[in-house]
Amino acid sequence: MTTGAGSPGPEPAHTVGARVTPDEPVVELGGTPAELPRILDRELSWLDFNSRVLSLAEDETLPALERARFLAIASRALDEFFQVRVGGLRQLAAGLEDASSDARGPRQEIHAIRAKVEALYARQSRVFLGGLVPELDAQAIRFSDWSSLGEVERAFLDRVFEERIFPVLTPLAVDPAHPFPYISSLSLNLMVVVVDRASLAERIARVKVPPLLSRFVVLPDGERFVPIEQVIAAHLQHLFEGMEVVAQHVFRLTRNADFQLDSDEGDDLVDAVRAVLQQRRRSPIVARLEVGDDMPPALVDLLARELEIGPDDVYTVSGPLDLGGLFDVCKLERPDLKFRPWVPITPPRIAAAAAGATPDIFRALREEQLLVHHPYESFEQSVEAFIERAAEDPQVLAIKQTLYRTSGPVSPIIRSLTRAAEAGKQVVALVELTARFDEENNINWAEVLEDAGVHVVYGTVGLKTHAKVSLVVREERGGIRRYCHIGTGNYNRDTARSYEDLGLLSSDAALGADVGELFNSLTGYSHPGRYRKLLVAPTSMRPAVLDLIRREGERGERGRIIIKVNNLVDPEVVEALYAASQRGTEIDLIVRSICCLRPGVPGLSERIRVRSLVGRYLEHSRILRFGRDPHDADYYISSADLMPRNLDRRVEAAVPIRSADLRARLDEILTINLSDDVLAWELRPDATWHRVPTRAGVDTQVRLQELALQRAEGRH
């Protein structure tokens, strides 16, 4: 398998299996719907996705530092899974929440999760110790143990310890006079065993590795990396003068981060979000304890007892903990060990508009709508340029923008909005404060915008604003004209280089009116009864999507559905797709991550096929096509996945694509996705994922790069 570089290589024989419980019997391909659950387990499906990401780290045909990056991605994603999903289940098990989303109950679910996570840990250790370490060593990038270092290297690390590490370390004793210390989430720690030389009494202490320090210490040659815990371990005597250090062992804790916002219309939302951040920092619930495989059982039991957790919450790991630290190694300037750089092209029509004496993106949009596809086409030269030009244009009266996750620490879009406000334009920014793990960043951006005179609002109480929309109101010769952007991804240039997303830039009057009304509903008390073109959650999107699925079902064998999303979880949507399949409609689903639909089951879903693409770029766009004839089908791009939270508890926007040229473009993307046999995996009726055999060698992401270049050169 390859992703964006090289030719297809041998396929590792990894099969991601589904858990089988007594109430979920093994189902052969000839099973009947009554013999199996219709809705697959959400949590286990996500772990299957993380397994597919991990397979990229195992792929020896990929550049070595890219394999390291995929290993880091899989490690950090597993951290978040435990913080949010397992943390939430632990809350349920502790009786802090009322109900579980899984019929088996939270404790049984945690047990099922453990079986898959243990397999992931084993694979992570194998690929790091047995694959990446020797491969990188052959490329002069070495992970060195303290024991292997010479006097010169140790002397260098002595200085690093004295100057940068020792001053920020704090040993904390564990004994009757010193209560067991609070251990912060995702921190790396040393459990140290010391003996008092005078009394010969054994003592235990904990030393936290400060999170601001890099995971690996780089030696002067820039090629060798030493785990920071080994550097600290080699100097523990400095922390315990008069004591003998007899042992030290590494451990890491993950705490629950799944806290609900406690706010109503009378509360200050910023204060409520800050309260959630404080709860997260001091969370009492432990979701996971990771220990090195050299930690004695007595110390593991001590930790578990003090943390009030059971054996199912303890994971023994071979090799270094927190392989997310490999992101630092991936920053090395070694282009020979990375994918060939891709420079996003400027969409030809924008390039033509910018080539004139006076760049005029608005004229280009008056002539025709524009579909932009990131990262193949430049986010900076399209979406950012649209907002930047609006900020500078004296004819622009107002700019309105939603911000969910944006670039940091310097966001060009934030900079454009502040300049526009300072120039006297009416600027409104809807900043979603509750975007998980971006809350503090978004509070800071909101304050920056307010200081510049931007009208900052936080959306609708009880609903997270996830829609990606912007509106520019411009005074022109014929009167007021609205220009808008509706996208599938965040207004973030950093992720736009690595996330695959779509956006529509348009001056369509009806669409602009819809976006204007959407902003009125978010900033005021407007409740539009019906939008002209947009599908908006939580009002019109769910019924519209279900109606479109049912319509294709009623067409039977003449029906056709293709859906590309990140996650398919919603039971009502799943059941509607089952019903359409049973009536003869052919259905293809391209689901990157969680899929709760079971495909290919006779009598239930035999006409449904599910695939997942995992590669260099994170597949993030949502495309929906309903209809067999591509010239007459309904096409949408959307910010929403097909999940209850998106359809019922978030503000989302889907926009119809009606231009023949743009529909053909979407159809081209979907066709390539469905033809892929390099990045693609398929979901089988027994709920296991398997690689699609490589025959034609179609790599979606490579092919879309080629098409972007052809468009730039006028050859497509």
Give catalytic residue positions. 466
Number of neighbouring beta carbons within 10 Å of residue 530? 10
Number of neighbouring beta carbons within 10 Å of residue 568? 24
Number of neighbouring beta carbons within 10 Å of residue 55? 22
654 burial level (CB within 10 Å; 0-12, 13-18, 19+)? buried
| CA distances, 547 to each of 553, 554, 572, 577, 580 (Å) | 10, 10, 12, 11, 11
Host H or E run for residue 707 = helix 700-712
- Rounded Cα distance between 590 and 4, Å, is 19
Number of neighbouring beta carbons within 10 Å of residue 355? 8
- Rounded Cα distance between 393 and 502, Å, is 25
H runs (alpha helix) in 452-505? 493-496
Rounded-to-5 percentages of helix, strand, coil across the chain: 40, 20, 40
Q: Are residues 353 and 364 in contact, defined by beta-carbon separation less than 8 angstroms?
A: yes
- Rounded Cα distance between 575 and 591, Å, is 16
Helix then strand count (H, E) for the chain reads 22, 27
Tell me the β-bridge partners of 654: 535, 638
Place of tokens 């503000």: 651
- Rounded Cα distance between 374 and 497, Å, is 7
- Rounded Cα distance between 270 and 318, Å, is 42
Looking at this protein, which amino acid is placed at residue 703?
Answer: R
Beta strand 202-209 with 171-174: parallel, antiparallel or unpaired? antiparallel
Looking at this protein, which amino acid is placed at residue 40?
Answer: L
* Residues shown for the chain: 716
- Rounded Cα distance between 362 and 520, Å, is 23
The C-alpha angle with vertex 339 and arms to 336 and 343, in degrees rounded to 5, equals 115
279 HSE (CA, 13 A, CB side): 17
- Rounded Cα distance between 75 and 86, Å, is 15
In a 3-state reduction of DSSP, which class is residue 489?
A: coil
- Rounded Cα distance between 113 and 351, Å, is 50
Q: In what order do the strands lie in the sheet with 224-227?
A: 142-143, 224-227, 216-218
In a 3-state reduction of DSSP, which class is residue 601?
A: coil
Task: Please measure the distance between the N-terminal and C-terminal CA atoms of the chain and give it in whole angstroms.
Answer: 28
The C-alpha angle with vertex 456 and arms to 451 and 459, in degrees rounded to 5, equals 160
